[in-house]
Amino acid sequence: MCVSPSGRAGTDCQQAICGPTRNSFLSGRRPQRTQSWNFIDHFREGKGGKTGDEPARTEDGGLWVSLPGYFKTNGYITMGGGKTYHPNLPPNNDGNLSWSLGDRDYVSFGDKGGCTSDYFKGGSLTCPDNSPWDTSNFTDHSNLLGMLDDLRFASAKQKDTGQPFFLNYGQ
C-alpha cells in the first residue's frame, strides 16, 4: 500500500506503470486526479468515469493544459515523438492540444523486427548480443531520425522567425 508523505494511506501516490505516470507528468496532476490507473484511462477524459472503487472524476481533463500545451499556448512551436504519452493515452498523443501540428507530424515509429541474434532463432524485436542487424527496423533508431529532423526544422524556423521551440521525445 502506498503511504504519502502526509501519512495518509493510498493518497497522493504515483503509479508504477508507464501510461498513468506519463499522463501524470505531462498533465501536472497525480493519478488520483487524472484517474489514470491503467492502459485504458487517460487525463483528457471528462467528468464522470469511474475505475474500480475510486470516486467518479470531478474535473474535466479536456480543459487541463499539458506541459507541451503550456509551451504551445505561449508561442512555442511544440513537437513530440516516441513514447511521450503512452500510445493513444490520450488519443492521438494529445493531438493539437499539445503539439503544433501542420508543420510536422508527431513522430512515433514502431519496431519492425528483423533481429538475427543467435539467441533468438527466427527473429526478434530486440537483439541482446552484438549480432549485426539493420537498425532502421527498430523504433529507437527510427524515432531518433525523426526527432533529429524535427530539431533541424525547429532550429531553422527559430533562426528565420525567432519563434522558440519545445521538443519532447519519450522512450
pLDDT tens-digit readout, 33-65 = 888 888 888 899 888 766 566 677 788 999 999
List phi, psi (to 5°) of 86: -60, 135
> What distance in Å separates the CA atoms of residue 42 and residue 40, rounded to the nearest whole number?
7
Q: What is the pTM of this model?
A: 0.77
- Strand locations in 53-164 (E): 77-82
The x, y and z cell numbers of residue 151, run together, are 530539431
**Residue 87 burial (CB count, 10 A):** 12
The mean per-residue pLDDT over the stretch 101-114 comes to 70
Whether residue 1 has pLDDT greater than 50 = no
Q: In sequence order, which residues have a C-beta less than 8 Å from that of residue 48 and are 6 or more positions away?
A: 56, 57
Q: In sequence order, which residues have a C-beta less than 8 Å from that of residue 7 and are 6 or more positions away?
A: none
> In the annotation, is 141 catalytic?
no
Out of 42, 86, 115, 127, pick the active-site residue: 86
Out of 2, 13, 18, 141, pick the active-site residue: 18
First to last CA, the chain: 28
> In the annotation, is 42 catalytic?
no
Contacts by residues 151-155 (CB-CB < 8 Å, ≥ 24 positions apart) = 153/79, 153/103, 153/104, 154/77, 154/79
Express each pLDDT in 134-169 by its tens digit.
566 667 777 888 889 999 999 999 999 999 999 998
